[in-house]
Amino acid sequence: MSFDPAWMASSFPDIVGITEIKRGGQKSVYGGTHSSDGQVVLKVFHPSANPDRAVREVEAARTILCPRIPRVLELGRAPSNLGEVVWLREPRIPGQDLRIVIGTGPLPPADLMRLTLHALEALAAAEQVRIVHRDVKPDNVIRGADGSFWLIDFGFARHLDLESLTASGAEHAFGTLGYSPLEQCQNRKDDIDARTDLFSLGVTIHECATGVNPYRAGSPQPAEVFRRVEQEPLPPLPNPVDADDCFRDLLLAMTRTRREQRIDSAAEALKWMREIAAHENIN
């Protein structure tokens, strides 16, 4: 759904030039200029959305202290003719999401390593406060105008110390098929942790390096995507990214089909990536 422009203008008088950026099942995302904060992103959750999930996104973003994740500037509720809506405001990151960036071609090696370093910094910070993003994919990573990378959209995040908002035994878990690992596809909630996000990040990096997500190549039916995730390990990168080819090993360690065979934590993956980055002068 899309919110009425007149309602938007009256509900958010401190923001001018409000324009829709994208629309999803849970919320609509707008850009505009705030009277004191400059360029901002405004997320307005649809009245039909689970308000607990909306608040969960805000709390996740507020809890994780990391320069690779946009901070929440303001949270509120507003009445509408469809019911009360929850909204939040964040600074807008100048740049483009990776889906647009890789539409023009794969990323060069230096950008691949910088993407991995910055995304792992975000995931390690989330891991420290026991939050799993659950929807890492090119659409949810921004490449800033300065070449940095930001992890966005914690709308599907789960705090491992809080009760899940997805029913046990539900047929479908939150996430995106083709990026989600096996335990997430099967909604095995007790098995979801930082290693879930590491798998999704690894698939994202592979796609950014090759231009293809092998699980989704050829636009297969969902059952075929699931079969590939379950039965076909992510192929090794065809070409070395760093001089010692350690990057390829890290990617494989992040994307093993079975969770227990992956690298143990985002912190450990970050330590590995920092060693590669130091050797390659990436920051």
Q: Can you tell me the distance from the alpha carbon of 71 to that of 271, in angstroms, rounded to the nearest whole number?
A: 24
Residue appearing with tokens 């539900």: 170
Q: Can you tell me the distance from the alpha carbon of 204 to that of 57, in angstroms, rounded to the nearest whole number?
A: 22
Catalytic residue among 111, 135, 153, 193: 135
Cα 42 to the center of its chain, rounded Å: 17
Q: Is 51 exposed, middle or buried (0-12, 13-18, 19+ CB in 10 A)?
A: middle
- For residue 21, what are its two tokens? 């950026």
The answer to whether residue 190 is catalytic is no
Given a contact cutoff of 8 angstroms between Cβ atoms, the answer to whether 20 and 30 are in contact is yes
Sign of the dihedral defined by the CA atoms of residues 103, 23, 189, 117, in that order:
positive
Q: How many residues does the chain have?
A: 283
Catalytic residue ranges? 135
